[in-house]
Amino acid sequence: MKAMILAAGRGERLRPLTDHTPKPLLKVGAHSLIEHHLYKLKRAGIDDVIINIAWLGEQIQQSLGNGEKFGLNIHYSDEGAQALETAGGIIKALPLLGESFLIINGDIYTDYDFEKLTHLELNSEAHLVMVENPDHNSSGDFALENGYLQNNGQPLYTYSGIGVYSQPFFADYPEGVAALAPILKEKIARQKVSGELYQNAWTDVGTIERLQQLNDSLHSSK
């Protein structure tokens, strides 16, 4: 299985840190956010990683190179000056990906074991990892019922930014700027998306405050 790390975002809420450093290269402990993913992907047995880039993308390429130092093969999907948003970025990279592939948001930190998803028998068009709602998304995103996601129901959980997707999930959508949420809602309404709940370490590093809290937490746990 191949993996794709979404790393093209501007990181507006992390400014001024992201004025000169792309969000995935911000440090969490001894490594950058994206390096944590790369090490975990290697341990999970994944060798081929696609990274989409836009804002300050050349810094990501310079930092990670071709992946040799991680024991990986890294390929880049360059979106140019205008990031294509989540779905648009994935759709552009589809020719680089296999029939089913792992997607990871570049701005999360987690101890989720990606190897579990490499053995997943996908019986739907996508499989999403859900988490308990953080304070910044207290209303949640989707419900989970009998192994499938629902647009309505209780309790609602938050999409972690980790999932396995298939080529058919995106087959009806053209290239261009496109958000993922509307496509997910449509597919979920058609019972095309399975899911699971993960209840251990996970952080959406979307603001300076959450980045600081995560670093403080990792430092205090040593």
* The predicted structure's pLDDT at residue 40: 97
* The predicted structure's pLDDT at residue 29: 86
* The predicted structure's pLDDT at residue 61: 96
User: The pTM is what?
Assistant: 0.94
The pLDDT tens digits for 183-215 are 999 999 999 999 999 999 999 998 999 988 888
Superfamily of domain 2-220: Spore Coat Polysaccharide Biosynthesis Protein SpsA; Chain A (3.90.550.10)
Cis peptide before 155 (omega within 30 of 0): yes
Domain ranges of the chain: 2-220
* The predicted structure's pLDDT at residue 222: 58
* The predicted structure's pLDDT at residue 10: 84
Sign of CA dihedral 43, 53, 94, 120: positive
* The predicted structure's pLDDT at residue 103: 98
Share of the chain above pLDDT 90, in %: 83
Segments of the chain scoring below 50 in pLDDT: none
The pLDDT tens digits for 41-65 are 999 999 999 999 998 999 999 999 9
